[in-house]
Amino acid sequence: MKRTFHFLVLLMSALTAMAATNGPFAIRGYYTTFMRMPTFGLPEWKQMIDSMKEDGANFLFLWTAGGFRSKSFPITWRYNADHKNVDRDYAHELIDYAHSKGIKVVLGFTPFAYDGVNQLPLEHPELKATQKNGQPANFWGLHAWGYNLCPAKEASQKFMRDYVREMFFEFYPNADGLLIESSDYAICYCADCHGKFFDHEYAFVRQISDAVWLAKSDALIFVYPRYFSTGQVPQFGVSGARQKFDPRWSLFFTPHSAPIHDELAKQARSSVYWNDGLTIGTPPKIRDGARLARQRGLSGYIASCEPFSCIDGPPGSHNPRLKPFHMAWLHDGEMPLNELPVRLNRIAYREWTRQPALTDSAFHDILGRELFGANTDFQRIQDVLFLQDCWFHEADWFKPPKLHLPSDLKQQAAREKWPAERMQPYLDRVKHLRDIERRYATATSGAERQLHDVSTWILRPWDELK
Ligand SMILES: [Zn+2]
């Protein structure tokens, strides 16, 4: 009897260990830049939430600064006046809808930089940050063009507090918390910030966190590790700060700006690893993101899902409106998540966050069944993986891959005097896509039809070159 009991205890702990290494993540979901999707209204966002639900998500990082009609600081949204949520506020309803599907929502913004915030120096140039060379910050942005702020100035601190308080307490008190995304592109190098930039930034982070927790003690607040570790902060050539970590915080790690810090992660309420896998990546990138998060014992893996529909460039750039995931066939405002290349990434996200140890071949079986039905042949699976790779290989946030722009590609090759072997991989891809286009020419519906249509779409400008 005793022996049986021991055996059961051992079995239970083995099963628990297996679940810990291969069960679903506690936090699963997408990071979205709401403010850079001006054409989506509530109906489209409900579709987005429904899609997330299908993907097994329970979390949405909704980057909101610059995308709501602040009463205190109208300058923060003026550049984004045609955003549907600026025109008529619906994000409150969107958050309620997410909750009805079991999805928590935290509001994202960057302290002293990026969208919304970087507009303030247009009215208050005295708050501009200083560059390394001693000059004031450059006019720069992604969609929201402006200047990053110096956090050593009290007026910058007050603005950040008031702006985020307004966003969280007045506009969206139904949100579950905040993502305080420390900048990945600029800091301030003025005399007051020298060696202390992240201490100044931390002062705001601490104050807003306390204010939020005072009103909502279970609010989730995600912060970056750089305030609590003196290791070098990527991109800036400066060290982080030595502030005390409050275990009520959750941590957000990224491959390019916030390396995973194991000791801090252990102290945090929760911790997630992010990468761009869903927006400009492939299933292997999603797999690797999930596996890394699991290996390091984090609570979640978050993929960026950013179907931009904004206009990039400074005001007056006259650039065309971006198409979500560069899918130029979509109407303005049309949701792209069921288009084949993205759908494939979504399936990858769902499966690898449910089971990070899933093998590639098991994933291919699931993919085949879902897209083409039972007993599909391997050819179809290979074709869909290849097409997906052609969609996102070399894609940039704001630019489609070179394969989609053959005349630019050829000009670049001529300008830079490429040897033939550098062009050959593109030509090989074109040839391969022609085979796919032919193979599915008679398909009338479903993933097979999309295989044909997307191949045709990539090939058309190549045909026009001739
Ligand atoms: Zn400064």
Q: Tell me, what CATH number does 55's domain have?
A: 3.20.20.80
- Predicted confidence at residue 21, as pLDDT, reads 65
Query: How many angstroms separate the alpha carbon of residue 181 from the centre of ligand 1?
Result: 18
User: Are the beta carbons of 283 and 388 closer than 8 angstroms?
Assistant: yes
Residues 259 and 111 in one domain: yes
Query: How many angstroms separate the alpha carbon of residue 152 from the centre of ligand 1?
Result: 5
Residues 364 and 318 in one domain: no
- Predicted confidence at residue 333, as pLDDT, reads 86
Residues 68 and 160 in one domain: yes
- Tokens found for residue 300: 């979640």
Query: How many angstroms separate the alpha carbon of residue 144 from the centre of ligand 1?
Result: 21
Query: How many angstroms separate the alpha carbon of residue 194 from the centre of ligand 1?
Result: 7
Residues 350 and 369 in one domain: no
The CA-atom distances, in angstroms, between 201 and each of 97, 185, 204, 205, 426 are: 33, 15, 6, 6, 45
User: Are the beta carbons of 107 and 168 closer than 8 angstroms?
Assistant: yes
Query: How many angstroms separate the alpha carbon of residue 127 from the centre of ligand 1?
Result: 9
- Name the pairing type of β-strands 271-275 and 300-304: parallel
**Range with lowest mean pLDDT among 14-23, 72-81, 257-266, 340-349:** 14-23
Question: Would you say residue 450 has pLDDT above 50?
Answer: yes
H/E stretch holding 381 reads helix 378-392
Strand partners, 300: 27, 272
**Range with lowest mean pLDDT among 59-68, 202-211, 226-235, 315-324:** 315-324
Is residue 270 situated within a structural domain?
yes
Residues 277 and 405 in one domain: no
Query: How many angstroms separate the alpha carbon of residue 239 from the centre of ligand 1?
Result: 15
Is residue 6 situated within a structural domain?
no
Query: How many angstroms separate the alpha carbon of residue 230 from the centre of ligand 1?
Result: 19
Last residue of a domain, one of 312, 335, 354: 354
Query: How many angstroms separate the alpha carbon of residue 153 from the centre of ligand 1?
Result: 7
Is residue 3 situated within a structural domain?
no
What radius of gyration, in Å, describes the C-alpha atoms of the chain? 24
Section 228-243 average pLDDT: 94
- 124-142 pLDDT, tens digit per residue, is 999 999 999 999 999 999 9
Query: How many angstroms separate the alpha carbon of residue 29 from the centre of ligand 1?
Result: 35
Distinct helix (H) and strand (E) counts, the chain: 17, 12
The CA-atom distances, in angstroms, between 184 and each of 20, 74, 114, 230, 346 are: 32, 25, 10, 17, 26
Query: How many angstroms separate the alpha carbon of residue 174 from the centre of ligand 1?
Result: 34
| Percentage of residues in the chain having pLDDT higher than 70 | 95
User: Are the beta carbons of 260 and 295 closer than 8 angstroms?
Assistant: no
How far, in Å, CA of 244 to CA of 162, rounded? 24
Strand partners, 220: 177
Query: How many angstroms separate the alpha carbon of residue 119 from the centre of ligand 1?
Result: 17
Is residue 441 situated within a structural domain?
yes
Is residue 16 situated within a structural domain?
no
Residues 231 and 372 in one domain: no
Query: How many angstroms separate the alpha carbon of residue 213 from the centre of ligand 1?
Result: 28
- Predicted confidence at residue 6, as pLDDT, reads 62
How far, in Å, CA of 160 to CA of 58, rounded? 28
Query: How many angstroms separate the alpha carbon of residue 187 from the centre of ligand 1?
Result: 8
Query: How many angstroms separate the alpha carbon of residue 158 from the centre of ligand 1?
Result: 15
- Predicted confidence at residue 241, as pLDDT, reads 96
Long-range contacts of 456-463 (CB under 8 A, 24+ apart): 457/328, 457/329, 458/390, 458/391, 458/403, 458/404, 458/433, 459/430, 459/433, 459/434, 461/404, 461/405, 461/406, 461/407, 462/406, 462/430
How far, in Å, CA of 118 to CA of 78, rounded? 12
Query: How many angstroms separate the alpha carbon of residue 364 from the centre of ligand 1?
Result: 51
Is residue 404 situated within a structural domain?
yes
Q: What mean pLDDT value characterizes the chain?
A: 94
- Helix 154-165 vs helix 197-215: crossing angle, to nearest 10: 30
Section 201-230 average pLDDT: 98
Is residue 15 situated within a structural domain?
no
User: Are the beta carbons of 210 and 200 closer than 8 angstroms?
Assistant: no
Last residue of a domain, one of 296, 328, 354: 354
DSSP 258: B
Q: Decide: helix, strand or coil at residue 334.
A: coil
Section 318-341 average pLDDT: 93
Query: How many angstroms separate the alpha carbon of residue 129 from the centre of ligand 1?
Result: 5
Question: Would you say residue 3 has pLDDT above 90?
Answer: no
Residues 316 and 397 in one domain: no
Residues 350 and 254 in one domain: yes
Question: Would you say residue 169 has pLDDT above 70?
Answer: yes
Section 415-438 average pLDDT: 97
Residues 337 and 364 in one domain: no
- 136-161 pLDDT, tens digit per residue, is 999 999 999 999 999 999 999 999 99
Query: How many angstroms separate the alpha carbon of residue 189 from the centre of ligand 1?
Result: 6
Contacts of 268 (CB under 8 A, 6+ apart): 245, 247, 249, 250, 251
Q: How many CB atoms lie within 10 A of CB 4?
A: 8
Query: How many angstroms separate the alpha carbon of residue 171 from the centre of ligand 1?
Result: 30
Query: How many angstroms separate the alpha carbon of residue 228 from the centre of ligand 1?
Result: 20
Query: How many angstroms separate the alpha carbon of residue 159 from the centre of ligand 1?
Result: 15
Query: How many angstroms separate the alpha carbon of residue 244 from the centre of ligand 1?
Result: 22
Question: How sure is the predictor about 445, in pLDDT bands with cuts at 50, 70 and 90?
Answer: confident
Query: How many angstroms separate the alpha carbon of residue 201 from the centre of ligand 1?
Result: 10
Is residue 324 situated within a structural domain?
yes
Show the domain range for 450: 360-465
Question: Would you say residue 164 has pLDDT above 60?
Answer: yes
Residues 286 and 261 in one domain: yes
Question: How sure is the predictor about 369, in pLDDT bands with cuts at 50, 70 and 90?
Answer: very high
Number of domains in the chain: 2
Query: How many angstroms separate the alpha carbon of residue 305 from the centre of ligand 1?
Result: 33
Residues 343 and 438 in one domain: no
Question: How sure is the predictor about 18, in pLDDT bands with cuts at 50, 70 and 90?
Answer: very low
Question: How sure is the predictor about 466, in pLDDT bands with cuts at 50, 70 and 90?
Answer: confident
Smallest Cα–Cα separation from 238: which of 180, 186, 179? 186
Query: How many angstroms separate the alpha carbon of residue 323 from the centre of ligand 1?
Result: 37
Last residue of a domain, one of 305, 330, 354: 354
Residues 381 and 439 in one domain: yes
Question: How sure is the predictor about 4, in pLDDT bands with cuts at 50, 70 and 90?
Answer: low
Give the distance, in angstroms, between the CA of residue 14 and the centroid of all CA atoms in the same chain: 35
Q: Which residue has the tokens 């007026």?
A: 155
Question: Would you say residue 372 has pLDDT above 70?
Answer: yes
Query: How many angstroms separate the alpha carbon of residue 167 from the centre of ligand 1?
Result: 25
Query: How many angstroms separate the alpha carbon of residue 130 from the centre of ligand 1?
Result: 6
